Amino acid sequence: METQHVCVCFEGCSCFRQRLVLSTLSVKRVKIPNIRSKDDNLGLRDFEVSFIRLLDKHECNVQRSIGYYLEALLMLAPFVKTPLRAALKGVTNDPTDPSVDLLKVTAIPLMKKFGIDGDGLEIKVLKRGMAPAGGGEVLFTCPVRRSMKPVQLTEPGKIKRIRGTAFSVRVSPQMANRIVDSARSILNKFIPDIYIYTDHMKGASSGKSPGFGLTLVAETVNGTFLGAEVMSTPQGQGDPVLPEDLGRNCAKLLLEEIYRGGCVDSTNQSLALLYMTLGQQDVSKSLLGPLSPYT
Amino acid sequence: MEKKEQKRHQHKHSGPKAQKKNRKKEQGTEQVQDERKRNPRAFSVQSAVRMAKTFHRTQDIKTKKHHIPLVDRTPLEPPPVVVVVIGPPKVGKSTLIRCLIKNYTRQKLSDICGPVTIVSGKKRRLTLIECNNDINSMIDLAKVADLVLMLIDASFGFEMETFEFLNICQVHGFPRVMGVLTHLDTFKNNKTLSKTKKRLKHRFWTEVYQGAKLFYLSGMVYGEYQTQEVKNLGRFISVMKFRPLVWRTSHPYVVADRMEDLTDPEAIRLNPKCDRTVSLYGYLRGTFLKNKCQVHIPGVGDFSVADVSFLPDPCPLPEVIKKRALNVKERLLYAPLAGVGGLVYDKDAVYIDMPSGHKCLFQEEVRPTTELVQSLIGTQATLDAKMAASKVSLFTGTAALTPEEVKQNPMESREWDENAQRERRRAVFADEDEKDDDEEEESDEEEEEEEEDEEDEDEEGLTKKVDEKAVETAAPPVKKQKIEEPMEMPAFADSDDELEKSEGEESEEEEGDEENEEMEEGEPAKRRSGPDSGLCSEEDDEDEEEDSDMDEDGDGIVKSKMSFKHPEEEKIDTEDAEMAYETAGALRWKEDLAQKASEAYLRHQLAAPNLRKLVYGTVAEEEEDSNDEEELGGLFKVSRPERSKKVRADAMDCSRFHPDSSHDWDQEEVRSSIRDCFVTGKWEEDKDAATLLKENDELYGDFEDLETGEVHKAKTGNKDKHYHVIFQKNKRLEKKRRLKERFDAQYDDGDATYFDDLKDEMQKQAELNRQEFEDVDDEVRVQYEGFRPGMYVRVEIPALPCEFVTNFDPHYPIVLGGLGPSEGNVGYLQMRLKKHRWHSRILKTRDPLILSLGWRRFQTIPLYYIEDHNGRHRLLKYTPEHMHCGATIWGPITPQGTGFLAVQTVGGIKANFRIAATGVVLDLDKSVTIVKKLKLIGYPYKIFKNTCFIQVGSPAESGVSP
């Protein structure tokens, strides 16, 4: 009766989250020395420390958006002991990480395919908070599943509709409309069934920084969701973007995503693969587009 | 069973009997015809309540029959069914096994020693194991048994062992249990016989389930049970169905039927108590076994497996099923521990059955002069030297090794003789009786009664074996001591060859030479442990071929064993290909861009690492680039280009992905490349709504779930005609299928329930699982999914305590239970426990208890507690008499819901019931609070009107124990 003293060793801080998540799921110890050994700013950054804390208990550091934390939670949530209900506070949308909106429209349907469904599964944006100051709040709830359903995602199907959310906080509500117009101008050439919601948050629910952005999702006849999004650059960092450009860029990104194909969009590839791995012994198949570097 | 033409029954056509019958028939038919018409009131609804009740009842009965549907995971070639024969001593267990073996294989096995595997039918094999009266064996076997034959001495009635075993079974998932009453011939009175039968049957039913099968074996004929009764029993066994048990379907396990010590003999010489390396053989059951996993051997401990490899099946099912019954050659028997299958285990030696044609050769060898022994002694002499050195000396000197060389280390070789007798060859057994005596000593007293018979049988059986081996002469087989080679010694393979050569298989020589050459090239390949057996020399050949094949393939496969086995069948490699199709599919309609895109795709392919290689490590084309690959924790290989290594180690951890290949979506052509990904785009021909509409209006709705492989074929324009034909055919088939679907939907949907749907789904999944790896080579398949149940595997385990080898007794089962990822850890377990109602005493907190949980048996100290109404866990000093209580132990982490049982002692036989408690694991909480009610005695030192302060002494005084 000896405990496993197997310790998996990694170097550097890339794939930090995945390593921690996988170590948690597989109950194996990991050791990560030499984090940013060449950097001026040695060691873990604040957001990574914050992530480790999150694995314990939920305040997200504003250096990274909630999406950064949420992605890892999505991987863990179905396998924890009690149904998860996490209120995450911080930046809801920023240009580096997948935003909460994108995860909401792409990851959640994917999880449903794996049998994680029911009332419990939800990502709810209570308050929006743009980078750099944040101030947003997201409620993530997830039920516990003992086993994953095996999936056969081999037929992406044709795209039947495109939905989206254009949001603006602490800027003119007109921004959202301008985004929608420009995005539609591109997408309308492909499919008429487009509806882009405009979401203008006011007052307390608008966070601390101004900004706007667009999330688009294309749904196929087989229930595959492909998403894309673009955010405005945070206040005081780089050149401001025109809402028209943003809308067009986002639409093009969506087209790019469609071009890459697959039943799972590039943001969620690793999530899908993880769930497939952790499922029962049955064969799961899924068709992915070209793998993203993160996967 | 000769079929005699029996006279058929003649119906009477005339006479009073015939008339009577005719009358009856006519009346009967008339009555049935118009009963409803004649008396409609009798068939009207009398009572709505009653009708509802009957309806309810039928539905209840129907639902009770349902089990939760499970995905059928039984492999195509399932492992042998484990049949455990259990019962108190002297009830006839060995006799029954012997009779069953004789029934199935027409062979006689005198000494039942260890598991015996036989082919019982076209699709079924059985592993018969006898369980002795030891509670440890009972516990271990209850965990692996598929079918339990519970022998009951009818002249005596039930004994405690029977009930104990039933209770053990109940805890660890109930296998099928069949009772067998023996000693029925002791009843002289027919009435008492039938009464006893009935009484025992009903008692058995209450223990197992109502209507459980109970067999009666009446009387012995020449020391055997009656053939007809054994035959019936055999039939029941071979048609029995088994429901998978949760623990077993989630854990791989091996019931070892062969054990070999691979420890370096030199190490044993230096330290007889050194840890041993042992290889265990057996059929893999349960679920897939990954290489490098942890196993638990009950009674020995947890070990990590050094190496797993699969061997050709020693007892295969018939390849082609054409006839009704098996012929004699297909009725195989494999029991290495009992000496069948070529190996005989003695107390300190292993013998190999050799074809007797070579008897004289070995008899001559008083001194080691032949190549075989030379090479072996050469191995011994160089054991203390380095591996490389030994290799060189061996290979250069297969012929050159001379007695002088041997004499260089006279000390060692002499010590060798004294110390490890087993390494020396014992004198050849000339006559059978000697060996028989040996065997008889080991067998239990029971057999002594039948010794005379058995000796005869023995001789018969052995000669039979010899016949099977197609040895020309009828002389008794020669037994030769087998020499145990250390693993990974290149010398080993050589000696293997030698053995085969000496067996006179000239054809082997070529292969052997080849291998030698390869060896000389200096490739230390992992090897099978030894000559499998004399019996399956053909398989040996095959194996050799496989081995040499493997060698030719290069060391890729062997090396890749260290890479990580993915637990899931993701089929990532096909993704690449499918991806190609996908992209190609998108390209179909943009002729001008095709060239550019295909180039881009090729670029992609080059850039993307071979995923299969990355994950499973099977593709071994380019081992040279291994400088780029660093191995991480023995699990993952990270392959990345050298230049970007430093950068990527500290890369930004972000899943957002910015596609670099920027297409200009303003251009019309680029845009048109994905136009067909939309519903508004062009559909494939067979999915086109218009086509479908033309075909059948009603089917418009289900066009989306149809799938054909046509899309990709469309690209090959030159085969247009051929393609068209296929397409037409497929289309027709497709149409048929859809029609059938529609028909099914219309007519079957009426009583299709949720249950049926679920079952359908499961069946589909099972089919898919089967298909996925159907035509993949076993070597590759093992890399993907691990070793699948049904394979005959060899498991090498290092660092076993020496007592395992020195006290090895084949009568005790050796079970290798695979452990899940976290089951090797130890922690706190909360469990629900109940003292067994037949155990005479209640259990005390902190009294050590031996638990059987999961695969394990271990001793621990439980704390009993009960949950109060306020959710508080209050410590109990004793378990309640008839109630469940909680228990917390420090023990191995086991998944929730696993049952366990507790005994107070495993040694000796107590008169009363040995199982102290049973229960189930509830939780694995590390922070559990158990409170203890304290009575503190003190003295008032200040008294007010309503308040009083009390002085309490130190906790020790007031009876608080920590």
Q: Sketch the domain layout of chain B as residue ranges.
A: 609-752, 822-924
Distance from CA of B929 to the nearest CA of A (A): 18
Say whether A287 and B578 touch across the interface (CB within 8 A): yes
% residues pLDDT > 70 (chain B): 56
Chain A residues closer than 8 Å to B651 by CB:
12-14
- Contact list in B for residue A266 (CB cut-off 8 A) is 657, 659
Residues 110-169 on A with a CB inside 8 Å of B are: 150, 152, 154-160
Specify the length of chain B in residues.
Answer: 962
Which residues from A are below 8 Å from B650, CB to CB?
12-14, 35-39
Q: Is the peptide bond before A132 cis (omega within 30 degrees of 0)?
A: yes
Domain B822-924: homologous superfamily in CATH: Translation factors (2.40.30.10)
Domain that includes residue A243, residue range: 155-260
The C-alpha atoms of residue B555 and residue B626 are separated, in whole angstroms, by 13
| CA contacts within 13 A on the Cβ side of B641 | 7
Of A121, A117, A60, the residue nearest A91 (C-alpha): A60
Give the pLDDT mean for B249-260: 89
Which residue in chain A is spatially nearest to B827 when comparing CA positions? A3
**Structure tokens belonging to residue A170:** 């602490």
The residue of chain A nearest to residue B597, with distances taken between CA atoms, is: A259
Contact: A290, B683; criterion CB under 8 Å:
no
Asked, for residue A49, whether it belongs to a domain, the answer is no
The size of chain A, in residues, is 295
Between the alpha carbon of residue B588 and those of residues A218, B46, B792, the distances in Å are: 22, 72, 49
Q: Which residues of B touch A190 (CB under 8 A)?
A: 671, 674-675, 678, 680
Task: Select the residue of A16, A273, A286 nearest B653 (Cβ to Cβ).
Answer: A16
Reference B170, options B919, B924, B796; nearest CA is: B919
More confident residue, B420 or B61: B61
Average pLDDT over residues A108-119: 82
Mean pLDDT taken over chain A: 79
Chain A residues touching residue B70 (CB < 8 angstroms): none
Report residue B133's pLDDT band, with 50, 70 and 90 as the boundaries: confident
A73 Cβ contact partners less than 8 Å away, ≥ 6 residues apart: A54, A84, A86, A140, A142
Select the residue from B655, B785, B851 to test the A interface by mutation, using most A Cβ atoms within 10 A: B655
Is pLDDT of A278 > 70?
A: yes
This model of the complex carries an ipTM of 0.73
Which residues lie below 8 Å from residue B688, measured CB to CB, with a gap of 6+? B682
For B700-749, the pLDDT digits (tens) are 333 333 444 333 333 334 445 666 777 788 888 888 888 887 777 666 55
CA nearest to B298 within chain A = A1
Using a pLDDT cut of 90, give the percent of chain B over it. 19
Cβ contact, residue pair B294, A258, below 8 Å: no
Query: Are B161 and B177 spatial neighbours (Cβ–Cβ below 8 Å)?
Result: no
pLDDT of residue A7 exceeding 90: no
**Cα(A215)–Cα(A228) distance, integer angstroms:** 6
Contacts of B582 in chain A (CB under 8 A): 156, 261-262, 287, 289
Residues from chain B that touch A282, judged by Cβ atoms under 8 A, are 71, 765, 768-769
**Cα first-last separation, chain A:** 37
> Using the beta-carbon criterion (under 8 Å), do B656 and A97 form an inter-chain contact?
yes
Q: How many domains does chain A have?
A: 2
Contacts by residues B759-767 (CB-CB < 8 Å, ≥ 24 positions apart): B759/B69, B762/B69, B762/B70, B762/B71, B762/B72, B763/B72, B765/A150, B765/A282, B765/A283, B765/B71, B766/B71, B766/B72, B766/B73
Give which of B395, B399, B630 is closest to B524, Cα–Cα.
B395
> Can you give the pLDDT at residue B558?
35
Task: Give me A180's structure tokens.
Answer: 């929608």
Predicted pLDDT at B601: 52
Which pLDDT band, with edges at 50, 70 and 90, does A34 fall under? low
B237-254: pLDDT as tens digits? 988 888 788 888 889 999
B529-575, pLDDT tens digit by residue?
333 333 333 333 343 344 434 334 333 333 333 333 343 333 444 34
* pLDDT number for residue B112: 82
State how far the Cα of B942 lies from the Cα of B944, in Å rounded to an integer. Answer: 7
A267 assigned to some structural domain? no
Question: Which chain A residue shows the shortest CA-CA distance from B651?
Answer: A14
Residue of B568, B632, B830 to mutate when probing chain A, most A C-beta within 10 A = B568
Establish if A203 belongs to a structural domain: yes
A29 falls within a domain: yes
Of the partner residues A2, A259, A266, the one whose CB lies closest to the CB of residue B673: A259
B-interface mutation test, from A5, A9, A14, A71, most B Cβ less than 10 A away: A14
Q: Model's pTM, two decimal places?
A: 0.65
Quick check: A174 contacting B, CB < 8 Å?
no
Tell me how far apart the alpha carbons of residues B267 and B273 are, in angstroms, rounded to a whole number.
9
CB crowding A131-155: b at 16 or more within 10 Å, else e? bbbbbbbbebbbbebeebbbbbbee
Decide if A38 and B646 are in contact by the 8 Å CB cutoff: yes
pLDDT computed for residue B204 by the predictor: 93
| pLDDT grade for B201, boundaries at 50, 70 and 90 | very high
The pLDDT value recorded for residue B754 is: 75
Distance from CA of A198 to the nearest CA of B (A): 23
The answer to whether residue A277 sits within a structural domain is: no
Residues 242-261 of A with CB under 8 A from B: 251-253, 255-256, 258-261
| A254 phi/psi in degrees, rounded to 5 | -65, -40
In angstroms and rounded to an integer, the radius of gyration of the C-alpha atoms of chain A is: 19
